[in-house]
């Protein structure tokens, strides 16, 4: 059961950092850490994550003893659950930018950072969802690419309801068999058919394979597989990539 125990901080450095410390001390599967504000929020690929105090859902969950193979799909699982939770709480339709950015109306609404110690049987799923921030309150570098539920016209959305809905969806999706999970992910694939660029080339995104790698058609029938741990997309036609 996700959400018990639940540790809430008014201010902390990073809910992922707190959850990792709890996991290292043996916290059970489902332990939830939340905060109103982070002073050192962590993002993917060494970036930071920031949101004005009280404006976002900031949550991290300790996940233990996943079925074989489920570990690799955890970032995609979290993205599907975040989309489903936000959709249910705010009556929107979120999409996913590979591997696990949550987009609303072509802008980034939520970010996900999965960290873990597979050898020790645990991972931490960290999710940050912009709820009530105004675009003007976001850091300069995010203003043209990010959004919040309030900025997208859902100013009635409540953080506690978004949190509960995402927790529920994560609980359900952690038990979903891989083929069904991948189908749900593909149904929200924002990059499908879009041109994408990475350090090694450019091509047209053609969905994910069974391991969660992005398939890109580079021309003349050639396809390459991009692994999320190794590749950072630098461009996607008409879409932000932050
Ligand atoms: C990204 O898009 O780069 C991932 C951002 C993940 C941010 C969330 S906020 C809650 C949790 N605690 C952190 O320090 N990071 C994640």
Instruction: Look at residue 45 in the predicted model and tell me its pLDDT.
Output: 86
Residue 79 lies in a domain: yes
- Which of 127, 129, 167, 241, when mutated, tests ligand 1's pocket best, judged by the most ligand atoms within 8 Å of its CB? 127
Q: Give the position, in ligand 1's atom list, of the atom nearest the Cα of 35.
A: 10
Distance 49 CA to ligand 1 centre (A): 6
Instruction: Look at residue 233 in the predicted model and tell me its pLDDT.
Output: 82
* Phi, psi for residue 235 in degrees, rounded to 5: -160, 145
Instruction: Look at residue 239 in the predicted model and tell me its pLDDT.
Output: 44
Question: Which residue lies with its CA nearest to atom 11 of ligand 1?
Answer: 126
Tokens 């991948």 correspond to: 182
The yes-or-no verdict on residue 242 having pLDDT over 70 is: no
Our measurement of the distance from residue 91's CA atom to the centroid of its chain's CA atoms, rounded to an integer in Å, reads: 19
Q: Contact 194/217 with Cβ under 8 angstroms? A: no
Q: Give the position, in ligand 1's atom list, of the atom nearest the Cα of 38.
A: 14
pLDDT digits (tens, 9 = 90+) for 34-77: 999 999 999 998 999 999 999 999 999 999 988 878 888 999 99
Same domain, 200 and 181: no
Residue 48 lies in a domain: yes
Residue 38 lies in a domain: yes
Same domain, 147 and 86: yes
Task: Spell out which residues line ligand 1, taking CB within 6 angstroms.
Answer: 14-16, 38, 41-44, 47, 49, 58-60, 101, 111-113, 126-128
- Which of 16, 31, 162, when mutated, tests ligand 1's pocket best, judged by the most ligand atoms within 8 Å of its CB? 16
Same domain, 142 and 24: yes
pLDDT digits (tens, 9 = 90+) for 111-130: 999 999 878 899 999 999 99
Same domain, 49 and 67: yes
pLDDT digits (tens, 9 = 90+) for 208-224: 999 999 999 998 789 99
Residue 1 lies in a domain: no
Instruction: Look at residue 235 in the predicted model and tell me its pLDDT.
Output: 65
Identify the CATH number of the domain in which residue 200 sits.
2.30.30
Distance, CA of 75 to CA of 177 (rounded, Å)? 15
Q: Give the position, in ligand 1's atom list, of the atom nearest the Cα of 15.
A: 12
The yes-or-no verdict on residue 240 having pLDDT over 60 is: no
Distance 62 CA to ligand 1 centre (A): 14
- Which of 20, 41, 98, when mutated, tests ligand 1's pocket best, judged by the most ligand atoms within 8 Å of its CB? 41
pLDDT digits (tens, 9 = 90+) for 138-173: 888 888 899 999 999 999 999 999 999 999 999 999
- Quick one: which H or E segment has residue 103? strand 101-104
Distance, CA of 131 to CA of 226 (rounded, Å)? 31
Instruction: Look at residue 234 in the predicted model and tell me its pLDDT.
Output: 77
Question: Which residue lies with its CA nearest to atom 16 of ligand 1?
Answer: 126
Same domain, 31 and 143: yes
Instruction: Look at residue 81 in the predicted model and tell me its pLDDT.
Output: 98
pLDDT digits (tens, 9 = 90+) for 128-138: 999 999 989 88
Identify the CATH number of the domain in which residue 134 sits.
3.30.930.10
Into how many domains does the chain fold? 2
Same domain, 204 and 132: no
List the domain range (segments joined by +) for residue 232.
195-241
Beta carbons within 8 Å of 3's beta carbon, 6+ residues apart: 30, 32, 167, 171
- Which of 37, 50, 58, when mutated, tests ligand 1's pocket best, judged by the most ligand atoms within 8 Å of its CB? 58
Q: Give SS3 for 162.
A: helix
Same domain, 97 and 214: no
Distance, CA of 183 to CA of 72 (rounded, Å)? 16
Q: Which two tokens stand for residue 238?
A: 């008409």
Same domain, 130 and 206: no
Q: Write down the mean pLDDT value for the chain.
A: 93
pLDDT digits (tens, 9 = 90+) for 22-42: 999 999 999 999 999 999 999
Instruction: Look at residue 9 in the predicted model and tell me its pLDDT.
Output: 98
Q: Is the peptide bond before 56 cis (omega within 30 degrees of 0)?
A: no
Same domain, 50 and 128: yes
Q: Give the position, in ligand 1's atom list, of the atom nearest the Cα of 111.
A: 2
The yes-or-no verdict on residue 15 having pLDDT over 60 is: yes
Same domain, 15 and 44: yes
Mean pLDDT of 178-193: 97
pTM of the model: 0.95
Beta carbons within 8 Å of 210's beta carbon, 6+ residues apart: 178, 179, 182
């Amino acid at each position: 059961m996700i959400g018990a125990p639940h540790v809430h901080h008014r201010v902390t450095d990073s809910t992922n950092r707190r959850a990792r410390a709890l996991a290292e001390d043996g916290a059970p599967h489902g332990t939830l850490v939340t905060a109103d504000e982070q002073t050192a929020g962590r993002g993917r690929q060494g970036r930071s994550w920031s949101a004005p105090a009280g404006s976002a859902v900031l949550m991290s969950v300790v996940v233990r003893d996943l079925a074989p193979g489920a570990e690799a799909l955890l970032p995609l699982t979290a993205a599907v659950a975040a989309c489903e939770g936000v959709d249910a709480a705010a009556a929107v339709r979120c999409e996913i930018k590979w591997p696990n950015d949550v987009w609303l109306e072509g802008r980034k609404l939520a970010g996900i950072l999965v960290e873990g110690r597979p050898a020790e049987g645990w991972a931490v799923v960290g999710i940050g969802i912009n709820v009530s921030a105004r675009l003007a309150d976001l850091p300069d570098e995010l203003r043209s690419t990010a959004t919040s539920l309030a900025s997208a016209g859902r100013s009635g959305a409540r953080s506690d309801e978004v949190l509960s809905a995402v927790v529920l969806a994560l609980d359900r999706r952690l038990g979903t068999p891989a083929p069904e999970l991948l189908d749900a992910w593909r149904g929200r694939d924002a990059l499908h058919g879009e041109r994408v660029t990475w350090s090694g080339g450019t091509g047209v995104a053609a969905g994910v394979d069974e391991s969660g790698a992005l398939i890109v058609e580079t021309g003349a029938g050639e396809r390459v597989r991009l692994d999320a741990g190794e590749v950072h997309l630098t461009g996607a036609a008409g879409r932000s990539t932050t």
